[in-house]
Amino acid sequence: MHRVLRVGKNTHGLKLVGAFIFFIGILGILFSIGNLIQTWNVSNHLDRCYTDLGADYIIDCKEAVFKDTGLVLYPNQVYFNSSQMVQLALKPMACLFGWIVVFILGIMLYRFGHHIIPMQKPTQVSKKKKGL
């Protein structure tokens, strides 16, 4: 039976795992930046959607906002309220910071594969009695 991933003296399993987490972190950061820009564009262009399409297509604008951001605009609501604006600002930022943490964790695991941490045994200090 062969082992696929061996962690030992001559192998770099921890370094490999760190490289995968690093790569996943980069992809997550890029996705989060795209999501952040998309969310901000939707929130900034909501007024233009109402004015360009007219009153007959307000429902289409609200459905587009729901698809892009996940926020529901109620039937009598035309603009975002304060709690929805906070959600629009913080949700993509929190996701971005989470992926940055994953990215840093990947770097740490990758760099940990480079260093050898010496383990020292605790030494006993002998106490000598001084004479008077």
Which backbone phi and psi does 119 adopt, to 5 degrees?
Answer: -100, 120
Amino acid in the structure at residue 48:
R
Domain limits, the chain: 13-112
Per-residue tens of pLDDT for the chain, all 132 residues: 444 455 555 557 778 888 899 999 999 999 999 988 988 888 778 777 777 776 677 777 788 888 888 888 887 777 788 888 888 889 889 999 999 999 999 998 888 755 555 556 666 666 666 655
pLDDT of residue 103: 95
DSSP 8-state class, residue 129: P
DSSP 8-state class, residue 72: P
pTM above 0.85, yes or no: no
Q: Is 1 helix (H, G, I), strand (E, B) or coil?
A: coil
Nearest to 69 by CA among 53, 49, 98, 51: 49
